[in-house]
Amino acid sequence: MKFNITREGAVKELDNFIETNLKDYSFKRNFDFGPNDKSNVSCLSPYITHRLITEFEVAKKVLEKYSFQKVEKFIQEIFWRVYWKGWLELRPQVWTDFIGDLKGIKDDKNYMKAINGETEIDCFNDWVRELKENNYLHNHTRMWFASIWIFTLNLSWQKGAEFFMKHLYDGDAASNTLSWRWVAGLQTKGKHYVAQSWNISKFTNNKYSNVKLNENALPIIDKREYKLNPLNFVTEDNSNENLVVFENELNLENKNLKKYKNIYLVLLSNEIRKLKLDKKVLDFKSQIISDQKNRFKDLQVIDEVKFQNITDKVNSFDVVHPCIGENFSFLNTMRKKRNLKLNFILSDEDRYSWQFSNKGYFNFKNNIPKILTSFKLQ
């Protein structure tokens, strides 16, 4: 698989999917036809993760061609990412605990066999290789993979989430972490996802049959409870001359960039990341950043060291909110160390949508039409 590294290319892929394959999405989406055929799904997630295109932009384009009723399932799947981000914003301690948990988990021989695709489960081994080679997996396959990892191989969900983040082009702190928690049975207490051999066989067109799995596993137990943390984005008078953007929030189309003297686009190196990324993932990020630099000439691409040097002289910044995750954790640490004054910029669409992330996805899903109408997306 080859992904585009430009916004123009991402938009073309979106347009092509709408014109050719969207009409069959609802009844073909669960099939994984293998690494060489992903025509039944959009494969837009690497672009959406970095906000080269946004969930709301996708919805608007889709609804210009189809009625909501005809593409409801696709819209719902796209908005899972909005929901997950809002959910984690309301419960940031989940991310903190996830990172903390990893420090106490050792890499044993069973873990090494799993990440090297050397288990006794052929389909799992194939998916490990596909993930490393293509930096992408079908969503249904991710569910099977996580279930096998947790319930058949008896490995920690945290190490699985870390492994995905290392290799996925669309690795997103909220979507990835919370999806693994959902499979484990932690998102909805006691409700877990257990992969079934018949299901894998059916949705891989019998490529994998009679897979020996633990199909009677119980959900993972974690007694930690997470209270809602109210969203508090107070946008002050925008008098800052300096804007900070991270690589996972590259939607600059509607930002008033001319008002800024300096626009810093930060890409953290592996030296400072809690979750180390594969070189191909870092290269992909660098390439899409280069495209943004070509499109917005005033962008200054920097790493954490250069940002720290800048804060020796400047302590006040506007920041396109990078959402809970690696980038926000770095920024929060810098804010405390350097006593920075940060004015977070959050899109109206995210701000409005996240209020519906206070409960489960069923509640959020019921409010999608309201979100679409509020922003004239349908």
pLDDT of 232? 78
What's the token pair of residue 130? 């596909």
pLDDT of 254? 80
Q: Is residue 81 within 8 Å of 95, Cβ to Cβ?
A: no
- Domains observed in the chain: 1-91+349-378 (1.25.40), 108-203 (1.10.579.10), 242-345 (3.40.50.620)
Strand partners, 264: 244, 300
327 three-state secondary structure: helix
Q: Is residue 149 within 8 Å of 157, Cβ to Cβ?
A: yes
Q: Is residue 352 within 8 Å of 326, Cβ to Cβ?
A: no
Note the Cα 243 to chain centre separation in Å: 23
- CA distances in angstroms from 355 to 55, 75, 350, 362, 370, listed in the order given: 16, 18, 9, 14, 12
The pLDDT > 90 percentage for the chain reads 93
CA distance 281 to 278: 5
What's the token pair of residue 148? 């096998």
Arithmetic mean of pLDDT, 34-59: 96
Quick one: which H or E segment has residue 203? helix 197-203
CA distance 297 to 38: 35
CA distance 223 to 208: 36
CA distance 332 to 338: 10
Arithmetic mean of pLDDT, 269-277: 98
* Of 319, 364, 316, 307, the residue nearest 340 (C-alpha): 316
pLDDT of 245? 97
What does pLDDT average to over the chain? 96
pLDDT of 236? 57
Please, which residues have CB within 8 angstroms of residue 230's CB and are 6 or more apart in sequence? 90
CA distance 218 to 151: 8
The reply to whether the predicted model has a pTM over 0.85 is yes
227-261 pLDDT tens trace: 999 887 766 556 789 999 999 999 998 888 988 99
First CA to last CA distance, the chain? 32
295-347 pLDDT tens trace: 999 999 999 999 999 999 999 999 999 999 999 999 999 999 999 999 999 99
pLDDT of 253? 87
- CA distances in angstroms from 377 to 19, 59, 357, 364, 371, listed in the order given: 18, 7, 20, 17, 8
CA dihedral 292, 168, 55, 244 (to 10 degrees): -40
Match 């384009």 to its residue by tokens.
61
Name the residue with higher pLDDT: 232 or 147. 147
CA distance 56 to 377: 8
1 three-state secondary structure: coil
CA distance 15 to 8: 11
Residue 71 pLDDT exceeds 80: yes
Beta strands in the chain (DSSP E): 242-246, 262-266, 299-302, 316-320, 341-345
CA distance 253 to 53: 10
SS3 content of the chain, % helix, strand, coil (to 5): 50, 5, 40
pLDDT of 32? 97
